[in-house]
Amino acid sequence: MQRALRIYADYREEQSGIPALLEKMGVIVIRENLSVGDYLLPGDVVVERKTAEDYINSLHDGRLFDQVRRVLEVYDNLLLIVEGDLEREARLRGREKHVTSSIASLLLESVKVVSSSGPRYTAHLLEALAKKSSETRGKRVVIHRKPKLESTREWQIYVISSFPGVGEKMAEKILEHYKTVEAFCLSSISELQRVVGEKRAERIKTILKARYGEEEKRGRSLDDYS
């Protein structure tokens, strides 16, 4: 039996109507006060949603890149959904060059920018993204060749980023906090939760503490522990 999709939504998104639309599609929506982003999808994909008007306003007052920076400090995958006609809004407000320049900057930071006609399309897009992301997580891990790294710092980042849900930016944040890989591995679950979040901490601790071959014997996956 296929599990129902789960999406975390910031409680302030309730007024957009999107959480209710998602629930009508059969998605389990967990409303929380998210520290960054408006939605958190399976695979640690963060979604920031803005109307075209809000995009330009947040660009003007500096909120846009501050929000992006705070997300990328914690997560590697950020999707920015812009609802409405951003090109028209920028033209009416004489901000065309500013908008195109900002989008170029976002793309160079590996932020995916997607346009949406409105909340209904956004809800369908979130549902499709959550489904695809869940399918990707369920695939077997492809064993790859070790990278040719030279410095200790590069190896430290490589080791930490090999844990599920941890990208290079998160690995750097972890190492800045713990200073050594050993301290990270010996960290208590409560401290780890403060640094990387509850669900990610539980998955990491499961890997660190599980006996080799335990999940195969029990017929369970790591997701059963999170």
Domain that holds residue 21: 6-138
Can you give the CATH number for the domain in which 59 is found?
Answer: 3.40.50.10130
Residue that is written with structure tokens 């909340």 in the block: 119
**For 99, phi and psi rounded to 5 degrees?**
-70, -50
Q: Per-residue pLDDT averaged across 48-75, rounded?
A: 90
Q: Per-residue pLDDT averaged across 179-207, rounded?
A: 90
> Which pLDDT belongs to residue 120?
96
Written as six digits, the tokens of 168 are 């290079």
In this structure, is residue 147 part of a structural domain? no
Contact 44, 66 (CB under 8 A): no
Residues 15 and 124 in one domain: yes
Burial tier of 25 (Cβ tally within 10 Å: 0-12, 13-18, 19+): middle
Domain boundary among 138, 169, 196: 138
Written as six digits, the tokens of 180 are 């050594």
Over pLDDT 70: what percentage of the chain? 88
Residues 9, 34: Cα–Cα separation, whole Å: 7
Higher pLDDT, 52 or 77: 52
In this structure, is residue 1 part of a structural domain? no
- Number of residues that this document lists for the chain: 226
Residues 191 and 125 in one domain: no
Domain boundary among 93, 113, 138: 138
Residues 75 and 176 in one domain: no
> Which pLDDT belongs to residue 221?
42
> Which pLDDT belongs to residue 70?
84
DSSP state of 142: P
With a CB cutoff of 8 Å and minimum separation 6, the contacts of 177 are: 195
SS (H, E, C) 32-67: ECCCCCCEEECCCEEEEEEEHHHHHHHHHHCHHHHH
In this structure, is residue 107 part of a structural domain? yes
In this structure, is residue 144 part of a structural domain? no
Q: Per-residue pLDDT averaged across 68-93, rounded?
A: 90
In this structure, is residue 33 part of a structural domain? yes
Q: Per-residue pLDDT averaged across 5-31, rounded?
A: 94
Written as six digits, the tokens of 67 are 């929000």
> Which pLDDT belongs to residue 34?
87
- Tally of structural domains, the chain: 2
Say yes or no to pLDDT of 30 above 90.
yes
Q: Per-residue pLDDT averaged across 58-76, rounded?
A: 87
> Which pLDDT belongs to residue 1?
52
